[in-house]
Amino acid sequence: PGILDYFTKAGFKLKRFTSITGLPVRNIQKTTGSFLVLTKGHAMAYVDGFLIDTERKGFDGRKIEFLWEVRKA
């Protein structure tokens, strides 16, 4: 939750997508835009086809708990 405050204070707009909750990370693979992706115990960034994932698991079956699109205000 702290990262969401950081983004909004830095002037970004956040839009939450609830329809993707519970789906695997691989389901966002062909989406365009910038997103904050949260799975159980881990956060990632997804930007225009590239997944920034420090666990290096890539587009796998981890279930998305929250997905926010991040845009400059």
The total number of residues shown for the chain amounts to 73
Mean pLDDT value of segment 2-13 = 91
What's the mean pLDDT in 24-39? Answer: 94
Q: Hey, what amino acid is at 12? A: F
Give the E-state strand segments of the chain in sequence order: 12-16, 34-39, 42-47, 50-52, 64-72
Using CA atoms, how far apart are residues 17 and 3, in angstroms rounded to an integer?
17
Which two tokens mark 47?
């930007």
Q: What is the pLDDT of residue 1?
A: 60
Q: Give the model's confidence band at 34: pLDDT under 50 very low, under 70 low, under 90 confident, else very high.
A: very high
Predicted local confidence at residue 2, as pLDDT: 83
User: Based on C-alpha coordinates, what's the Rg of the chain?
Assistant: 12
Top pLDDT among 1 and 63 is at 63
What is the mean predicted confidence (pLDDT) over 53-64?
A: 95
DSSP letter, residue 62: P
Angstrom distance (rounded) from CA 65 to CA 25: 10
